[in-house]
Structure 1
């Protein structure tokens, strides 16, 4: 039961109890109320009825207003409750009004019929008749008592007790006694069973008897039994028990039937007179009480309407509200009715069904959460993979792309989700080759017996990106997924291929150095011997031709020796002997070989103060610095304003700790071609017309020996890659320090890269 229902029940019970108490009180005192009761208490009784009626009307009004407000606010089930309340109220109010109309007319006519003239005359005659009968009995007893008193006065010789007993028998009296002047009983015979002596006469009665000599009366009709009492003065005589007057007291019982009839007539007459005086008040009181009963009936009908309406509508409202909540996604357990009828069972079944749905949804949500967690983990793994991953749906459209694919291909693949791979610029040929490989693998699996387990393939592709002229070597792995989806995983193995090429060139260089260097010296010596033997024997043009030919042979042999030496150095670069060394001193030592360039302003150095010592091989690092400076000067040789800067910088971490030392060689030349940047460290990769292309390859091998990181970049105008190239920069970062960093250097004094 809701709070509002409990409040309504409490108020209604209090009101009905109070009203019923008032009505019961009024009805109980209606017949026995003293004269003028209704006239004296009519006002407060009337206002009490008005207050009770007003309270009931107020409660009914509040309930009606609350119901109307619920209907206007669109509360669920309010219209059904209003309809049921109206039906029950109509059923209760209409018969109540009909009964009230009939009762109103009946009360008016009944009260008027109570006060008929004949009835009043009959009651008055009966009252007079009874009164006359009682008066005659009283007078007769008085006369007999006087006569008995005179006779007693004459019987001087008879004992008093016997004389009184004889008088009692003659008068058929209940008690006969001689009473003294003060009312004391001198001698008495007869009496009540509960008293040994007769009752003493009242002082008033004794005074009347002394004054008049005789008095008789009815003690009380309400006594049990009612009695007649007569008191007569005894004449004076010699018979005396003491001084003073004496009285003869006779007490006689009245017939019970006569007393009952007399009392009934008296009561009926008194009530009739009282009702006659209170006729208007009585009419108003009965009509007011009837009106109050009507209000109570209406209130009970409305309360019953609301209660029964709630009882009937509650299961339906519970089910309807539960269905609405389930439709909105709320699957919490729904309330049920405690009744054992079909509606209660239906609510319990619905609650069980809702609980089962909630449990099922919980399992689904748990599975979804696990799936989402697995998906998140998978996505995290995909996002952190260096390899590129692309998933295609059954229509060959891009479904999933990880950042590795975007990084490798340098294309915004995520923007092409839902589209096919061949729609991506520059990847049409690659997409065609990939899908041909998928189709070939599918055909192999379907057409070869026992090959059904081969659901993946692997192949290397070379991809030419037009915008950067880069040639990427991709190792692509393909696999089939459920529902005709496809998975493609690829890695950029350009550096691996480059390393393989470097290894191959090292092997070639070793063999060339072995196979070519040995014949060069005999060839040179043979040519010089021929010149020595034949030069004196020839003259003129023959002699000149001999000299030129020998010079050519010697020069070409020297060139080939130099080439062989470079191959030897590249193939048999000795292991680095790492020791603590000052990089600034090493740079200054190498730059002394380029004094003319420094004097011409084409080469200058920016060396950091108090650099830390690095672990390095001075001979190899000297070769590195020489190669980098020579390459930079060659790049700016054709520019009048060309210049090269050699810079050393300290490298700091985000926490301000010294992490290493950086060597940078910067020029304002044309920069590196885009196609060279990917393979700059491979042998024979160069854009210069002269040279073997082994310089940067040797630098890369030496950097690897020192655990240094080497980086080549093109410098753009204003730092914007969309603007033209204004130079190039090669940097080596050494992280192996020989000693602790110098305390004089702080993060604030470091120079930007």
Structure 2
């Protein structure tokens, strides 16, 4: 859109340049129409330039009209406002322009028609007629005077004619007197101008006319002065006719008046002849000026409308972007008017919205992180957790709660208790037995018994109200355990305490005992006989071996008693099992090992050293269980089940005794075992949020150990 705006600006600037050039051409064209000889030679070029400029402006205006109509049908923001501004601007401008055009044409018509009206034309015609009649009367009078002189000089001889001609000239106030013979040769001449040597010679046709008519007069004009030239014949008795020519000067005042009348009449006739053409030329120039003004007005209106509508277009475009969630939108228009204030306010608003959105996003991410963290913590808790709203509707739960209640809790989320169907009756019974309505603070442990099929499930629960500004909308948190699991955890804690104390009490004297035995051997070995030395050595070896055995037992006690804190990472269980498998396969050749890793996903979040200890312990137990078999067989398999990795280790050994809890601390079937190995294994598996089960195989030959480990999530 910015490219289009730049293009429109360039076109408008070009239009203004063309308008100025065309206006200059019209001005020069007007000077040429007025009669300026300097510009009359360029008239055609100026006319072509003017028409080309007007056509160019017309094309530019058509371009903007097309663009505006196109944008209007495309519903481009700001086009409606642009059309409104354009129409009103043109309406306000064209009404005065129409009045101006009307009165301009009226004025031109009135000016040319009233400059020379009929009265002035009649006066000029009368003046011309009067001057012509005055000249005619003066010519007739001069002809009469000249004929009288011809009669007087008719009898004169040549000498007398030469002597009296000047005097006669003066008497009749003539400028020149000339006598011609029958052949037109000069016989006598007299002139008021002594410098004139040769008189004016009449045409041959003039002599013929005099013969036919007896005389003539002609009005001559020389150097803006009028003169009457008269030619008549002289009748000489008994001789051929002579001719007399007389020239009479018209007075200067009369000559000037007659000249002025003739000039005015000539100009009037010329003006009357040129008036339609001049009138048409000025009307044509006026039309050109009006066309130029109209096109320039339309072009300026488009420029003004676009300039006024562009901020609205940018604001509408920006508003749409903001409504779509793009708060980076900024309108860059440098204006100092109200539009500038509005645009600055819009930009400030988008910046504020962006800051608020970013802050909201940060807070949302924090809440999401906290929610994910809390969800992870709750889901990895061994205890079952439920959260209810103030109307005892289920909001959230963890996997342990789902397993303990053996219900599809996702189907009862946000469902009132009275609307829960019979398939989820265990959950409904559990909530009803809690008696939440009467709990205002953290409750003591509540024992709940629920019949699940043929079994009776016992739970220990604790209810805590959630804080709220409105007690009715606080909700509740319920933490509960399986009673058996709860008792087992307490028992586990007691055994850990026993192991910790035993390890502490036994470990302290072991080192002094070992040192004392070695010192006895060192002090007495050189003072005893050979037989006694053998007895001493055997006794010292027994003491050392027993001390080392006690140390191993103390280490097992310590490892069992201390809390397990594991550094976990992305771990491939298949890779770990392959390493352990190769190790045992090379060292225990009498045992048949089989590895079947069919799980497609085997990556978990775990500690390699701890899991290696688990697998070593389980495989070692399997090897010991198959020692009495002719051919020992151990099979390790993996499969995927939902989001878990299932690792199974089976053997063909002696199997388990009935009612024998192998994960119970200090319970063992081995002669030299401490009974802590499987207890430690279970503890490590639980730290990996997994489960372990150890059962006899279905065919009664050996044991199968089943490990359930959660697969790593994609975003971890």
What is the TM-score when the length of structure 1 is the normalising length?
Answer: 0.47
User: Structure 2-normalised TM-score?
Assistant: 0.49
